[in-house]
Each structure stands twice: as structure tokens, then as C-alpha cells.
């Protein structure tokens, strides 16, 4: 029988027991008031997983980095509300709404409804690194309009 790492990790107030609150990113991208907890798939005791489950929480007024990459995101909001930019559209988000970010979609999450926006984001363990779009890329994907006014870069 395989070494057994099965476990339950209790949650209290959107903190998971024994899982550290981490910085969102460290590479100098533009973001505001966002934290990360790596729930599954990044540790030595769940190496069997090809997929990673992370929890991101954006404080009111904050946002994630505007980015684009080849790998898709599967997102489920589990706390609060906000909005998401997907290329040239802006969508409102409520608790338990689902977001699919398909490959090469410019995207940015905003906690712009006066409360936190907390969401699970699932990705492949092996994936390409996000790119920060240059102005040409932004022009090509977003143009003008509500999404252009919404993004923070």
C-alpha cells in the first residue's frame, strides 16, 4: 500500500490549519492587497497530485495582477463578491460563482464591491509562467470600454 497522506484540514474564518498565509507574488507585478494559501499540490506530502488548489483573497479595494498565460484557470468564488476582467469584458462575481479563464485570456480580479473577494483557483502543477502584457497585447485584447477603464497596470 502507498504511503498514506490522506487528511482533513480544518478551516476557520478562511484560514486553513497549519497552512501559512503567503505573499501573492514576489516578482514585482502590479497588484494590491491580496494573499495566498496553498491548499493542496505544492507540498512534499501530496506529490501525487498533478493539480494544485490555491486560495486567494483580495481585500476590499484590491486587485490581482493583470496577466496572460497559456494554462487555464478553474476558479470558484467562496467568499464575498467582486468582479473579473476577461479580455474586453467585465463580469460581476458573487459567492460560489464559477470562472473559467481559458488559455491566452487577459484577466484581473477586483474586490470592488466593498467586501473581500476570496476564491479557489485550480491549475496544473506543470504550467507556463504568467506574462505581464505589454501595451500592444493590452490593445489587441482589450481595446477601449469598460474593461479598459477597469484594469490596473
* 13 is a catalytic site residue: no
Per-residue b or e along 50-65, where b marks 16 or more CB atoms closer than 10 Å to that residue's CB? eebbbbbbbbeebbbb
Q: With respect to a copy of itself, which residue has the nearer C-beta, 84 or 138?
A: 84
User: Rounded to the nearest whole angstrom, what is the least distance from the CB of residue 144 to a copy of itself in the complex?
Assistant: 18
Residue 129 touching a copy of itself (CB under 8 A): no
Are residues 91 and 84 in contact, defined by beta-carbon separation less than 8 angstroms? yes
Contact residue for a copy of itself among 27, 44, 96, 144 (CB under 8 A) = 96
DSSP one-letter code for 149: H
Region binding a copy of itself by CB under 8 A among candidate stretches 21-29, 109-117, 122-130, 142-150 = 122-130
Member of 23, 27, 44, 50 binding a copy of itself (CB under 8 A): 50
Classified as helix, coil or strand, 39 is strand
Stretch that binds a copy of itself, among 26-34, 45-53, 59-67, 109-117 (CB under 8 A): 45-53
The C-alpha cell at 65 is 495582477
For residue 120, give the nearest of 42, 38, 64, 60 by alpha carbon. 38
Determine, following the binding rule CB under 8 A, whether residue 143 of this chain makes contact with a copy of itself. no
Name the DSSP letter for residue 119.
E
Binding a copy of itself by CB under 8 A: which of 21, 91, 131, 149?
91
Amino acid at each position: 500500500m502507498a504511503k498514506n497522506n490522506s487528511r482533513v484540514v480544518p478551516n476557520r474564518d478562511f484560514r486553513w490549519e497549519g497552512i501559512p498565509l503567503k505573499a501573492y507574488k514576489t516578482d514585482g507585478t502590479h497588484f494590491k492587497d491580496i494573499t495566498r494559501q496553498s491548499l493542496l499540490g505544492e507540498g512534499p506530502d501530496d506529490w501525487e497530485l498533478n493539480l494544485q488548489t490555491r486560495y486567494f483573497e483580495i481585500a476590499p479595494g484590491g486587485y490581482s495582477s493583470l496577466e496572460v498565460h497559456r494554462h487555464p484557470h478553474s476558479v470558484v468564488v467562496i467568499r464575498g463578491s467582486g468582479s473579473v476582467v476577461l479580455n474586453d469584458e467585465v463580469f460581476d462575481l458573487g459567492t460560489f460563482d464559477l470562472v473559467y479563464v481559458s488559455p491566452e485570456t487577459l484577466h484581473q480580479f477586483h474586490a470592488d464591491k466593498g467586501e473581500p473577494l476570496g476564491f479557489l483557483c485550480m491549475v496544473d502543477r506543470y504550467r507556463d509562467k504568467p506574462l505581464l502584457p505589454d501595451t500592444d497585447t493590452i490593445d489587441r485584447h482589450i481595446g477601449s470600454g469598460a474593461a479598459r477603464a477597469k484594469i490596473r497596470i
